[in-house]
Amino acid sequence: MIHMELNKRQTEILEIVKADGPITGEQIAERLNLARATIRPDLAILTMAGYLDARPRVGYFYSGKKPTQSVMDGMIGMKVGDFQSIPVVVNENVTVYDAICQMFLDDVGTLFVVDKNSFLTGVLSRKDLLRTSLGNSELDKIPVHVIMTRMPNITYCKKQDSLIQVAKKMIDQQIDSLPVIYAKEEGLEVVGRITKTNITRAFLSLAEEHEL
Ligand code: ADP
């Protein structure tokens, strides 16, 4: 994680405020034997970076927060590969009935559908299965490839993609999960699953890392 490099004077200011804040800019300058104007840019940097907070008529105090910049770096650095779950896949010829059982057995909300070579061909959501179940008594006769959302309309991602990118796709497409794929010449291999739960977990881990 990248932290902003503080210069010697900024570090001194930070120490003074940590020890004796709230303290005015005037008083800080006095302690350093410098003019108020000289330290103004340093105070501005420390405040902008989130190290210090300033209140009118009170002065500067140590925010106790880690700098905003490092939270942003952390967020940008979160990759699919670090948060993905194990994918649950079914063959495109299994029946809707079996897919429903699979969904319960593996306790997931989305199944990924693959062909005989294990390449991605479709996605089955809870509501895809519910919709088919309504007024349909032959669930053990319908293969899932008839009802699934199919390629090329599948939104997927790769291990190295950023979680922010994935979150945006989920919201834009109104979907709960994406298959994580590894692209081969012959097709897309399903190597993972990323869901809203993974995103929530990532969000929480970022908060915990920064002691929020
Ligand atoms: P639900 O349908 O249970 O609310 P979703 O919101 O995930 O769950 O799915 C909405 C629709 O989008 C479904 O028809 C599903 O097949 C489809 N879908 C789900 N995930 C994807 C995806 N990654 N790419 C394309 N379509 C998807």
Query: Which of 121, 123, 144 gets mutated to test ligand 1 (max ligand atoms within 8 A of its CB)?
Result: 123
pTM of the model: 0.74
Q: Atom 5 of ligand 1 has which residue's CA nearest to it?
A: 175
* Sign for the pseudo-dihedral over CA of 82, 78, 51, 3: positive
Give the Å distance between the CA of 161 and the centre of ligand 1.
20
Q: Which residues line ligand 1 (CB under 6 A)?
A: 110, 123, 125-128, 149, 153-155, 174-178
Q: What is the reported pLDDT for 51?
A: 87
Q: What is the reported pLDDT for 65?
A: 65
Where do the domains of the chain lie? 8-70, 80-202
- Mapped onto helix, strand or coil, the DSSP state of residue 173 is helix
Q: What is the reported pLDDT for 64?
A: 74
Instruction: Report pLDDT digits (tens) over 70-128.
Output: 778 788 899 999 999 999 999 999 999 999 999 999 999 999 999 999 999 999 999 99
Judge whether 78 and 206 are in contact, CB under 8 Å.
Answer: yes
Classify residue 181 as exposed, middle or buried by CB count within 10 Å of its CB (0-12, 13-18, 19+). buried
CATH number, domain 8-70 = 1.10.10.10
Please give the CATH superfamily to which domain 80-202 belongs: CBS-domain (3.10.580.10)
Give the Å distance between the CA of 123 and the centre of ligand 1.
7
Give the Å distance between the CA of 148 and the centre of ligand 1.
9
Instruction: Report pLDDT digits (tens) over 161-197.
Output: 999 999 999 999 999 999 999 999 999 999 999 999 9
Tokens 């925010």 sit at which residue? 63
